Each structure stands twice: as structure tokens, then as C-alpha cells.
Amino acid sequence: MAEHVILFTGPMGAGKTTAIEKLSEIDVVRTEAANTERQVADKATTTVALDYGEIVLDDQDKVRLYGIPGQRRFDFMWTILKERAKGMVLLVHNDADDPIGRAVEYLDEFADLYAKGGVVIGITRIDIAPGPSVTDYAAALAVAHPDKIVPIYTVDPRQRDQMRTLLMTLVANIETRDMFVERVPQREELVAE
Ligand SMILES: Nc1nc2c(ncn2[C@@H]2O[C@H](COP(=O)(O)OP(=O)(O)OP(=O)(O)O)[C@@H](O)[C@H]2O)c(=O)[nH]1
Ligand SMILES: [Mg+2]
């Protein structure tokens, strides 16, 4: 059975914990504490260390789901979890301040994960804020990260099927890339020939 470690990143209130709760087939380990920043995200609690859940896709891929805290003051956890992960689900809520700017910022911060495996973006809370559109995000990312092709979807993290599709897209991308890397002769082999 293949195993993948996937990080859920994004600003405070984007829906990372909600998504992991929906996807996980085990009881989720949560580290919620009272939210003292209600002006940033109007909800009772916030993640202070990590979320952890697991799901098996198609009986063959075990996916370990890690959610990071959205608040920057807990970003020491980002560094720890970044090392372990192979891919990232970046969730950005469309009603955030400058949501496109936040998406670019997270892609900058976690660029290693793009190189290691793959990244997919889910824009959330579009029922609350319908714009900006997927096209607006794509245009901004093409300028900020012209070397990256990142799939962008709109999702509602409260809907399990939507999150499952997003996750399966990411895992398929990672596996395709792994296969390609295995097949392409490495530089040392070419030198030896
Ligand atoms: N209406 C609506 N609500 C949503 C949507 N996505 C998430 N939410 C709600 O927004 C809130 C998101 O909260 P969390 O899941 O705790 O967000 P988080 O990303 O884990 O936030 P931090 O841990 O604080 O960084 C929850 O109350 C969700 O029910 C959406 O698409 N539409
Ligand atoms: Mg959370």
C-alpha cells in the first residue's frame, strides 16, 4: 500500500480542520484552543498545533492528513510538518482579506512541496463571497509562479465528496510524477553510459 503525507495549509478560517474532519476515517486528533482573534476569523476555536486524520483511497493509498494552524504565531509547526509532507492542499477562503495575495503567499512559503510532490488549491466559502473567480486566481498565480501548474477548484470543506475529489486529484498528480521520475534516467546513469 502506498502512503502519502499531505499537508492542509491556508489562512485562519479557510476550513482546514473542517476538511480533515470530513475526510478522515479515524477520529481526528485536534488541537483547538479558544480563538482570541475573532476579528480575523469569527469562530470559537482555532488550531494551535496540528490536526491529524487518515483516509485510504481506492483500497490502496493510505493518506495521512495533517492540518497546520493558520495563525502565523504558530508557524514553528509549519516547518516541522513541511519536512514530512509530500503534497499540499492549500485552502483559501474567498471572504479573506486579499485572498489571492494569501494564496500567492502560501505558495511561496510551501514551494518545496510543489517540487517534492504536488499542490492543489481549493477556494472555499464562495457561497459567502462569490468573487474573485478561479480565473482571477489563475491569472495572478501565472504571474507570481510562472514555473508552476497548480490545479485550482472551488470547494466547500463541509462536503466530503468535494474534498475527496480534490484529494484524489492531488494524489494522482503525485503518483504520476513519481512514475515519471522513476522512468526518466537519472543524471548519474546518463553520465555512466
Ligand atoms: N458557508 C461556508 N462555511 C464554510 C465553508 N468552508 C468552511 N466553512 C466554515 O468556516 C469555518 C472554518 O473553520 P476551520 O475549519 O476551523 O478553519 P481552519 O482553516 O482550520 O482555521 P484555523 O485552524 O484557525 O487556521 C467553519 O465554521 C466551517 O464550517 C464554505 O465553503 N461555506
Ligand atoms: Mg484549524
What stretches of the chain adopt beta strand conformation (E)? 2-9, 32-34, 45-47, 51-57, 61-67, 87-93, 118-124, 152-154
- Site residues for ligand 1, CB cut-off 6 Å: 10, 12-18, 41, 43, 46-47, 67, 69-70, 124-125, 127-128, 156-158
Domain range list for the chain: 2-192
Looking at residue 117, its pLDDT comes to 85
Between 131 and 193, whose confidence is greater?
A: 131
Per-residue model confidence (pLDDT) at position 133? 98
What is the average pLDDT score of the chain? 92
pLDDT at 187 over 80: no
Q: Measuring CA to CA, which residue among 94, 100, 102, 160 is closest to residue 124?
A: 94
| Residue 18 CA, ligand 1 centroid: distance in Å | 6
**Region 84-108 average pLDDT:** 96
Among 125, 163, 166, say which to mutate for ligand 1: greatest number of ligand atoms within 8 Å of CB.
125
> What is the predicted pLDDT for the residue at 115?
87
Q: Whose CA is nearest to atom 21 of ligand 1?
A: 13
Q: What pLDDT was estimated at residue 125?
A: 98
Instruction: Report pLDDT for 182.
Output: 66
Question: pTM for the complete prediction?
Answer: 0.94
Name the nearest CA neighbour of 122 among 168, 153, 148. Answer: 153
CA of 46 to the centre of ligand 2 (A): 5
Look at 73 and 55; give whichever has higher pLDDT: 55
Residue 125 DSSP SS3: coil
Residue 15 amino acid letter: G
Residue 179: the pLDDT is 82
The predicted pLDDT at position 77 comes to: 86
Per DSSP, the three-state class of 116 is helix
Q: What is the pLDDT of residue 193?
A: 58
Ligand 2 centre to CA of 184 (Å) is 39
Distance from the alpha carbon of residue 9 to the mean position of ligand 2, in angstroms: 9
Ligand 1 atom 30, closest CA: 125
Backbone angles phi and psi of 59, in degrees to 5: 60, 10
User: Quick one: average pLDDT of 56-63?
Assistant: 92
* 3-class SS of residue 4: strand
pLDDT of 78: 87
pLDDT in tens, 112-134: 999 888 999 999 999 999 999 99
Between 186 and 173, the higher pLDDT residue = 173
The whole-number pLDDT of residue 34 equals 95
Topology of domain 2-192, per CATH? Rossmann fold (3.40.50)
Rounded Cα gap, residues 128 and 116, in angstroms: 34
Question: Mean pLDDT over residues 129-157, rounded?
Answer: 96
Contact criterion met (CB below 8 Å) for 110 and 9: yes
